[in-house]
Structure 1
Amino acid sequence: MAKFLRTFRQNSMAESRIGRYLLYAVGEIILLVIGILIAVQINLRNEAAKNERAESIYIQNILKDIDAQQKSIEVQVDYESSYISSAKYLIETLENKEIQVDQKFAAELANLLSRRTFVVQDATYTDLISSGKINLINDEGVRNDLISYYQEMERMEKVIYHNNSDIIDGNISHVLEEFGYINYSFEKLNHQGYLKNSNSAYHLGHFDEQFADISTQIMTDPRVRLHVMNAVKKRLLIATIHHEMMDGATTLSNELKNRFYE
Structure 2
Amino acid sequence: MPKFFRKNRQKTILENIITKYILYAIGEIILVVIGILIAVNINNWNNKQEDRQTEITLLKEIKNSLLSNYKALDFAIELETEQLEHGKFLLNHLKNKRPFNDTIVSYLSIPLISYQNSYNNAAFENLKSEGLPYISNDSLKLDISFIYETRLKSIFTDFPAEMENIISNTFTPFYIKNFVFESLEDDALLTIPNNYDELIKNQEMSNIVSVAISMKTFAIARYRNTQKYVKRLHDKIHAEIKKLESL
Normalised-by-shorter TM-score class: 0.7 to 0.9
Aligned to 1:258: 235
Whichever residue aligns with residue 239 of structure 1, its letter is: K
1:117–1:160 Cα contact (<8 Å) kept: no
**Residue type at the aligned position of 2:148:** Y
Q: Give the Cα–Cα distance (whole angstroms) in 2 for the partners of residues 176 and 251 of structure 1.
A: 36
Distance in 2 between residues matched to 1:71 and 1:248, nearest whole Å: 14
Q: Which residue of 2 aligns with 1:176?
A: 175
Q: What TM-score comes out, normalization by structure 2 length?
A: 0.80
Is residue 2:148 matched to residue 1:167?
Answer: no
Q: What whole-Å deviation, never above 9, does each CA across 1:153-199 have from its counterpart, x for those lacking one?
A: 11212332322432223432222332245554233x4xxxxx5xxxx
Structure 2 equivalent of residue 246 of structure 1: 223
Question: Contact 2:111–2:171 (CA<8 Å) still a contact in 1?
Answer: no
- Given candidates 217, 227, 238, the residue that maps to 2:204 is 227
Read off the aligned partner of 2:54 and give its amino acid letter: A
TM normalised by structure 1 equals 0.76
- 2:84–2:216 Cα contact (<8 Å) kept: yes
Q: Which residue of the partner structure matches residue 33 of structure 2?
A: 33
Give the count of matched residue pairs. Answer: 238
Change (3 A) 1:213 1:155: closer
Distance 2:34 2:172 in 1: 76
Question: Residues 99-156 of structure 1: CA distance to partner in whole angstroms, max 9, x if unpaired?
Answer: 644433332122332222132212222211111x124344444333333322311121
**Whole-Å separation in 2 of the counterparts to 1:242 and 1:105:** 23
Structure (1 or 2) with the greater strand fraction? 2
Native 8 Å contact 2:91 2:209 kept in 1: yes
Identity %: 21
Structure 1 stretches lacking a partner, 5+ long: 190-194, 196-203
Partner-residue secondary structure (3-state), 1:116:
coil
Given that 2:135 and 2:141 are in contact with CA atoms closer than 8 Å, whether structure 1 keeps it comes out as: yes
Contact 1:107 1:183 in 2 (8 A): no
Q: Deviations along 1:53-105, whole A, 9 cap, x unmatched?
A: 32333333333222222221111112211232233223323333x46444333
Please name the residue that 2:126 is paired with.
Answer: 127
What residue identity is the alignment partner of 2:114?
R
Give the secondary structure class of the aligned counterpart of 1:186: coil
Of 67-76 and 162-171, deviating more is 162-171
Aligned residue in 1 for 2:92: 92
Letter aligned with residue 216 of structure 1: D
Would you say 1:216 and 2:197 are equivalent positions?
yes
